[in-house]
Structure 1
Amino acid sequence: MARGTTIPDRPTSRRMGALGALWPFVRRYRGQMALALVALVATSAISLILPLAVRRVVDNFDDGAGLLDDYFGAALMVVALLALGTAARYYFVTRLGERVVADIRKAVYARVITLSPAFFERVMTGEILSRITTDTTLIQSVIGSSLSIALRNTLILAGGMAMLAITSVKLMGLVLLIVPAILIPIIVLGRRLRGLSRANQDWIAASSGAASETLLAVQTVQAYTHEARSIARFDDVTERSFAVALTRIRTRALMTAIVIFLIFAGVIGVLWIGARDVQAGAMTAGELVQFVIYAILVAGSTGALSEIWGELQRAAGASERLGELLAAEDALRDPPRPVPLPRPVRGRIELRDVGFRYPTRPDVSALENVSLTIRPGETVALVGPSGAGKTTVIQLIQRFWDPRSGQVTLDGIDLRDMARADFRQAIALVPQDPVIFAASAMENIRLGRPDAPPEQVREAARAAHAHDFIEALPQGYDTPLGERGVMLSGGQRQRIALARAILRDAPVLLLDEATSALDAESESLVQAAVSRLSEGRTTVVVAHRLATVKKADRIVVFDGGRVVAQGSHDDLVAQGGLYARLARMQFTDMPVLTELA
């Protein structure tokens, strides 16, 4: 199977206790739950009263029209109460289900959005979205419908069995003989259903993951005419999901057929014996009719419970999967008592003997014993071949990862001793591949400072040389930019990202290939904006194009995860070595298929 469609190994849900994970969300609404329970008990009790009324009508059929009128009038009142109680039960239970699912979705999203990049290396975004949508829909169905129906049928089953015993102990004893035969297939096949339900949900999540991965890169897929292979890959995952679902459906259909046959075959047998007792005068016709109705209620409740059991098992699997997200262990954690970053922030950054390896590539050292001090207000450029460790330094400064050895500090404080939300407020980032959200241009720039007034947003756009093209959009700054900024060119997206950084006005500025997607004219304009922006700020620039970093205060050359040289452009060229070789490649007429590509 292709990468990204593999189902992680997880323990199969062996018990319905997984539904207990929903209790913290349900208990917040005890009052609403109590109202639903009152309505539930009331409707169940009314359902159990009706057979008594029918018995009285049958046994007193010859006692006159007046008494019959009274009985039928009372029956009409009971039916009206049943309708009102059922409506109340539906309202309170369905409302509770919708409210609980909304809370679960919010909790899962709030948890996932704070997890570090290490988590997203293991779990695909599409699978997470599947859990937030498909799994929560299952839970909504259970809390808002199946659970109340299960409780109602349980009450009717218990009450009906009691009334059967009151009506005829002999016939009741025969009914009890049928129960073990009904429970055996429910228990045996139910265990298989639990595993199949969990596997079915996992494959649905894998299908969503495969779809989201290719749809987010649809232009690349089409450019390389990879549509047929992508379709085949998605078809394969979807068919596997269908195969598991089909096995689950067959198992559940078999269980339903067995249970229903045993229930009604048993009822027919009991009624046959009861009919002979009426003929022998051992019981009245009304008592037999009452017993028949209660037997039908008990049989119907048992059948309904066997149906709902499958739904509860699917919900247990869904609850387990959502619980995994809520309980996901993050590789990075804020300390219990974080040290506050002193304000104003000076912006002194230090890497002290830092070593780091990515979890997915544990055999490859991304950084090896790197020590680097960046003084407040200094502009430092990181250059070197691809994979040399430049972007890793940027990520460590933001504490997206923790070094395996050594320290990364800001103003002398280890990043691990501070709250990430605290020190990240002092950092502005312009990434190599800027992300544009499906919101307006105004809101996309406001990501840098959400409370910024419109005029400050426009000033930031002007400084990033983005104002003119934004104003030319159909609705100006209010124009939606489409998912991932499909309406914009690469250079325009990068200038939006630069405007965010300018608006943030942070003391530390990180530029990761910030001008790589710009044409020569735009690059010149943006370079001027970056030069103004970096004044008085600690600026770390990652660049492949050496022309963009010639004026940096210091250039640090990386190779193989190590610092191999540092100094000014002229000094490094004079020293020879890797930087001088790269500079010759870029500043002569040689092809640009270099080590930096």
Structure 2
Amino acid sequence: MTDPIDEDETSAPRRALSNAKVLGFIARFWLRRKGLFFAGVGLTLAAICFDLALPWASGRLIDTITKGPSAIDAAWGAWAAFVGVYLGFSLIRNLAMRFWIPLAARNMEEMTNEGYARVQAFSSDWHADSFAGATVRKLTRAMWGYDSVTDAVTIWLAPSLIVLVGLSVMLLLRQPLAGIVALVVVAAYITVNLVVTTRYVRPANLKSNALDSKIGASLADAVTSNPTVKSFGAEARESARVAEVTAAWREAVMVTWHKFTNVWLGQNLLLVLLQGGLTAAMIHAWARGTATPGDVAFAITAFMLMSGYLRNMGENIRMLQKGLDDTEDLAAWEGLAPQIADAPGAPDFVRGPGAIAFEDVTFRYKSAGAPLYDHFSLKIAPGERVALVGPTGSGKSTFVKLVQRLHDLQGGRIVIDGQDVAQVTQGSLRRAIAVVPQDPALFHRTLRENIAYGRPDASDEEIVSAARKARAHEFILRLPQGYDTLVGERGIKLSGGERQRVAIARAFLTDAPILVMDEATSSLDVETEGQVQEAAEALMAGRTTIVIAHRLSTVRGADRILVFQNGRVVEEGRHGELKAAGGVYARLNAVSEGVG
């Protein structure tokens, strides 16, 4: 597995892919729509043929005119050919764009969608190691990077190369010295651009791209944490923090842009060499009587075409390199296998009564030296209500994450209703487990959509019924737009208790056989807590329920309490039994009651 790039680094990303690999990644999108791609290529080549004919038509027109008024009919014919060549180029080039546009739009759409799906498939650890804002920035930047690369390669660079080589060969056949000058300068121009751009400009561009991603990460981190920023009066401090990042980006991007400008200067010096060399060769040939005025016109027209294409080539080599760098992260993700993968041909999880068994489980977090669970075994009966208590870091939350298969084991297996969780599809497994977290994170969507998130096809009647059971219907109706109210990012427009009740309503509607309650009433006021506790009791009825308890007063009705310590269950039993035993639970309970 490749480690994610450290967004705090100000140096170029580690293990950047080669240009060839990134270009291959993009080319695979071109070939998804072979009809559009090859039609665009064919029409572009046809347009190039007309462009190559322009110096010939120009030279023919001049040679005809120099014959005097007696050749007026031939002159008008040469004029018609001259105009027709350019008209043909313009029309065919425009027609080619009609194929390139849908190809680009559809591929950019698919690239973004597939990149997002791949990111979604990465493990919780990957997301914990990555800034969300930076990930978003990389996805959107890659989309436009694809567009830059496609335009550079298919619309500009490849046609430019054909035209430049073609004109050089035509000059060589017409006036060998001029052709040699053209071929040497064109070869030098292309070589210098490729070498200088990849070796001189690219490292600086990768560094500025990394800092561009860091800007997105810093902005997203501060904006999503705005309530915390305001509660500490830290607006100025956060603005200064973002300003430090943008200042670092400014310094890096100025280096990149200066390097591009230096390359541009070198390109123009080579164009001056081409201009001087071609015109000098043609004057020399004319002075010796081996070149006609038409030959001179041919050379001048060829230079005008070549200089335009060479300028475009220089710009597009830079655009190509920037586009490749912008797409590099997404191309690298394609080669990064999901850290938690479905087994080949894995069937969907079949819902049952909710029996859970940990069988000789060994699990270690990647950053930990020793396993948290070492040959751990435990069974939970269908419909049993089990509470997990213990100090922070004892393994309570990890237990639930492993049931959901948010991490893979180093040994043993977890079986639910006779099915190894590692052998069924992750999505179907998680849909059979409803989670009511301590701090529910809602989407910035309507209350209706948030409640129905686990069952998007639920009817309005089912949504309202779930909200009633969760004691949420009443406060929802008091809102100006009722169930169509947008709740804000992460549900910020709602109080903690309201968010909790929406999460409980979502769990009701999901109707999963296994329920996880992570201190679901801890955010509620005393009056509301009683109501929601009743709703929670109704939700737990008939379901296998795992309650992660921080306040021990909430677990007294559990069928079994498991006391965790360092990844082991050191005590288990009912509240009264454990309290009377005078062990770890009794001490925790005494502290809890003292705090209360």
Q: Same fold (TM over 0.5)?
A: yes
- Tell me which amino acid in the other structure corresponds to 1:147: T
Q: Are residues 1:163 and 2:170 paired?
A: yes
SS in 2 for 1:447: helix
**Tell me, which stretches of 5 or more residues in structure 1 are unaligned?**
593-597
Counterparts in 2 of 1:202 and 1:286: CA distance versus 1, 3 Å: same
The residue number in structure 1 matching 2:240 is: 232
Give the counterpart of 1:559 among 562, 565, 579: 565
- Tell me which amino acid in the other structure corresponds to 2:289: G
Q: Are residues 1:6 and 2:9 paired?
A: yes
Give the counterpart of 1:40 among 23, 32, 44: 44
- Tell me which amino acid in the other structure corresponds to 2:196: L
Q: Relative to structure 2, which stretch is displaced further, 464-473 or 33-42?
A: 33-42
C-alpha root-mean-square deviation of aligned residues, in Å?
A: 2.2
Q: Contact conserved, 1:374 with 1:380, CA < 8 A, in 2?
A: yes
Give the counterpart of 1:111 among 113, 118, 123: 118
Q: Contact conserved, 2:168 with 2:183, CA < 8 A, in 1?
A: no
- TM-score, normalising length: structure 1: 0.93
Q: Are residues 1:441 and 2:444 paired?
A: no
Name the CA distance, whole Å, in 2 between partners of 1:225 and 1:364.
41
Q: Are residues 1:316 and 2:320 paired?
A: no
Matches within 5 A, 1:495-506: 495-506=501-512
Q: Contact conserved, 1:509 with 1:540, CA < 8 A, in 2?
A: yes
The residue number in structure 2 matching 1:101 is: 108
The residue number in structure 1 matching 2:543 is: 537
The residue number in structure 2 matching 1:272 is: 280
Matches within 5 A, 1:433-582: 433-582=439-588
Q: Relative to structure 2, which stretch is displaced further, 218-227 or 464-473?
A: 218-227
Name the CA distance, whole Å, in 2 between partners of 1:4 and 1:19.
24
Task: For residues 149-170 of structure 1, give each alpha carbon's deviation from its aligned partner in whole angstroms, at most 9, with x where no partner exists.
Answer: 1122122112211221232113
- Tell me which amino acid in the other structure corresponds to 2:213: A
SS in 2 for 1:524: helix
Counterparts in 2 of 1:37 and 1:393: CA distance versus 1, 3 Å: same
Q: What is the count of residue pairs matched by the alignment?
A: 587
Q: Contact conserved, 2:148 with 2:320, CA < 8 A, in 1?
A: no
Name the CA distance, whole Å, in 1 between partners of 2:187 and 2:145.
30
SS in 2 for 1:486: coil
Counterparts in 2 of 1:114 and 1:188: CA distance versus 1, 3 Å: closer
The residue number in structure 2 matching 1:595 is: none
Matches within 5 A, 1:224-373: 224-338=232-346, 341-343=349-351, 345-360=352-367, 362-363=368-369, 365-373=371-379
Name the CA distance, whole Å, in 2 between partners of 1:286 and 1:479.
75
Q: Contact conserved, 1:555 with 1:569, CA < 8 A, in 2?
A: yes
**How many angstroms does 1:355 deviate by?**
3.6
The residue number in structure 2 matching 1:390 is: 396
Task: For residues 19-43 of structure 1, give each alpha carbon's deviation from its aligned partner in whole angstroms, at most 9, with x where no partner exists.
Answer: 0111221111111112211221122
Q: Contact conserved, 1:428 with 1:506, CA < 8 A, in 2?
A: yes
Task: For residues 321-342 of structure 1, give each alpha carbon's deviation from its aligned partner in whole angstroms, at most 9, with x where no partner exists.
Answer: 1111222222212111335544
**Tell me, which stretches of 5 or more residues in structure 2 are unaligned?**
1-5
Q: Relative to structure 2, which stretch is displaced further, 525-534 or 311-320?
A: 311-320
SS in 2 for 1:238: helix
Q: Contact conserved, 1:382 with 1:555, CA < 8 A, in 2?
A: yes
Name the CA distance, whole Å, in 2 between partners of 1:87 and 1:387.
64
Runs of 4+ residues deviating >4 angstroms? none
**How many angstroms does 1:277 deviate by?**
2.5
SS in 2 for 1:485: coil
Identical-residue share of aligned pairs (%)? 33
Name the CA distance, whole Å, in 2 between partners of 1:184 and 1:88.
32
- Tell me which amino acid in the other structure corresponds to 2:512: A
- Tell me which amino acid in the other structure corresponds to 1:29: R
Name the CA distance, whole Å, in 1 between partners of 2:430 and 2:191.
59
SS in 2 for 1:258: helix
**How many angstroms does 1:394 deviate by?**
1.1
Name the CA distance, whole Å, in 2 between partners of 1:46 and 1:115.
50
The residue number in structure 1 matching 2:385 is: 379
Q: Are residues 1:219 and 2:227 paired?
A: yes
SS in 2 for 1:579: helix
Q: Are residues 1:49 and 2:48 paired?
A: no
**How many angstroms does 1:187 deviate by?**
4.0
Task: For residues 58-84 of structure 1, give each alpha carbon's deviation from its aligned partner in whole angstroms, at most 9, with x where no partner exists.
Answer: 112113443333333333333332221
The residue number in structure 1 matching 2:434 is: 428
Give the counterpart of 2:138 among 113, 116, 131: 131
- Tell me which amino acid in the other structure corresponds to 1:506: A
Give the counterpart of 1:204 among 205, 208, 212: 212
Name the CA distance, whole Å, in 2 between partners of 1:177 and 1:533.
80
Counterparts in 2 of 1:85 and 1:368: CA distance versus 1, 3 Å: same
Matches within 5 A, 1:71-86: 71-86=78-93
Q: Contact conserved, 2:157 with 2:316, CA < 8 A, in 1?
A: yes
- Tell me which amino acid in the other structure corresponds to 2:478: A
Task: For residues 375-419 of structure 1, give each alpha carbon's deviation from its aligned partner in whole angstroms, at most 9, with x where no partner exists.
Answer: 101111111222222111111111111233333221233211222
Q: Contact conserved, 2:142 with 2:328, CA < 8 A, in 1?
A: no
The residue number in structure 1 matching 2:26 is: 22
**How many angstroms does 1:183 deviate by?**
4.5
- Tell me which amino acid in the other structure corresponds to 2:316: I
Task: For residues 116-141 of structure 1, give each alpha carbon's deviation from its aligned partner in whole angstroms, at most 9, with x where no partner exists.
Answer: 20211332222211111012212112
Q: Contact conserved, 2:41 with 2:154, CA < 8 A, in 1?
A: no
The residue number in structure 2 matching 1:68 is: 75
SS in 1 for 2:490: helix
The residue number in structure 2 matching 1:152 is: 159
- Tell me which amino acid in the other structure corresponds to 1:538: T
- TM-score, normalising length: structure 2: 0.93
Name the CA distance, whole Å, in 1 between partners of 2:184 and 2:534.
89
Task: For residues 557-586 of structure 1, give each alpha carbon's deviation from its aligned partner in whole angstroms, at most 9, with x where no partner exists.
Answer: 122332121111111110112222222233
- Tell me which amino acid in the other structure corresponds to 1:121: A
SS in 1 for 2:387: strand
Counterparts in 2 of 1:456 and 1:537: CA distance versus 1, 3 Å: same
SS in 2 for 1:60: helix
The residue number in structure 1 matching 2:3 is: none
- Tell me which amino acid in the other structure corresponds to 1:330: P
The residue number in structure 2 matching 1:120 is: 127
Give the counterpart of 2:196 among 179, 185, 189: 189
**How many angstroms does 1:237 deviate by?**
2.5
